[in-house]
Amino acid sequence: MTPLSRTLKDLSTGAKDWRLWSALAKEDLAQRYRRTLIGVAWVAITFGLFIGAKVVVFGNIMQVPMGEYSLYVTLGFLAWQFISASVTDGCGVFANSENWIKGVNTPLSLYIYQAIARNFITLFYSALAGLLIILLMRHPFTFKTLMVIPALFVYLLNAVWFSMVFGIVTARFRDILHLVTTSMRIIFFLTPILWMPTQLGPGIRKYTDYNPFTHYLAIFRDPVLYDQYAWRSWLIVLSITAVGWLIGLIVFSKFRKRIVFWL
């Protein structure tokens, strides 16, 4: 078997173990909220309160209608939470599963799916709070709203390649995790989540366009909020996804069998 076909086999046999990785993901969450009264409902409450506080504080500063701004923040932050968690968890995906990886012969992609499933469940609960906000604002749903489904699917695809690359790099160079975590905190402020590009002067505005996260958010937010497909952002996101997968397959094929020695 060539290294590439081994990689594909790892990815497919790992995916088939869905009962296992979903159980592990649920267990991760259960552990986080063990002995709490309301359990994972905390996810939704945290999200709702966070949005509320942000809208109250920033909504008055921004010169945007309050209704539009609260939807803008809700949708943007919903997507950002998942992206940001996928990025940081993607780095730790192998390092955090050291015991299993050193103890049993399982496909390594299993741990990638586990992390993604965990973040997806969290996203689901946050989305319930998000949906409530959207309904309260009486924002109309259109056919284009359905574009959030392919957008989420693309998020999942990106989480996989990112974990393949950065899970391996982090297993070898542990500084990467800290570097990435810090970077994501900064990127949060550099990405249009709390502010809108239109509020910036034209000189600076063009730089937000160079930020890939701008486009990842746009494909999720724009169809719901502005009834626009955001084709240009889609094109950019899909190109990054394709290149990312190419790099992911190469890196994973080359270093997959070495990961265990780096843990």
Partner 1 sequence: MAHLRAKNIHLSYPLIDRVKRTQTAEIAGTTDVGAQLNNRHQKSLQVVNDVSFSLEDGDRLAIIGPNGAGKSSLLNVLAGIYEPTQGILESEGSVSAVFNIGLGMRREATGYRNIEIRCLMAGLNKTDIQRVTRDVEGFSGLGEFLHLPVKLYSRGMALRLNFALVTAMRADIVLMDEWIGAGDKEFRAKVIERMHDFVGSASIVVLTSHNTKLLQRVCNYALWMERGHVVKYGDAHSIIEEYQTETAKKG
Query: Using CB under 8 A as the criterion, which residues of the chain lie in contact with partner 1 when the complex forms?
Result: 17, 19-20, 23-24, 27, 30-31, 34, 99-106, 172, 257-258, 260-262
Separation between Cα atoms, residue 47 and residue 118, nearest integer Å: 16
Residues contacting residue 65 through CB under 8 Å, at least 6 positions apart = none
Judged by beta carbon, residue 210 or residue 261, the one nearer partner 1 is 261
Least distance from partner 1 to the Cβ atom of residue 20, Å: 4
Least distance from partner 1 to the Cβ atom of residue 17, Å: 7
Residue closest to 94 by CA, chosen among 232, 251, 222, 208: 251
Separation between Cα atoms, residue 174 and residue 262, nearest integer Å: 10
Structure token digits, residue 165: 């690359």
Q: Which whole-number Å values give the CA distances from 147 to 70, 132, 224, in the listed order?
A: 20, 19, 8
Judged by beta carbon, residue 30 or residue 66, the one nearer partner 1 is 30
Least distance from partner 1 to the Cβ atom of residue 11, Å: 17
Separation between Cα atoms, residue 95 and residue 167, nearest integer Å: 7
Judged by beta carbon, residue 54 or residue 172, the one nearer partner 1 is 172
Least distance from partner 1 to the Cβ atom of residue 100, Å: 5
Least distance from partner 1 to the Cβ atom of residue 117, Å: 14
Judged by beta carbon, residue 91 or residue 101, the one nearer partner 1 is 101
CA atoms in the 13 A half-sphere facing the CB of 30: 6
Judged by beta carbon, residue 6 or residue 144, the one nearer partner 1 is 6
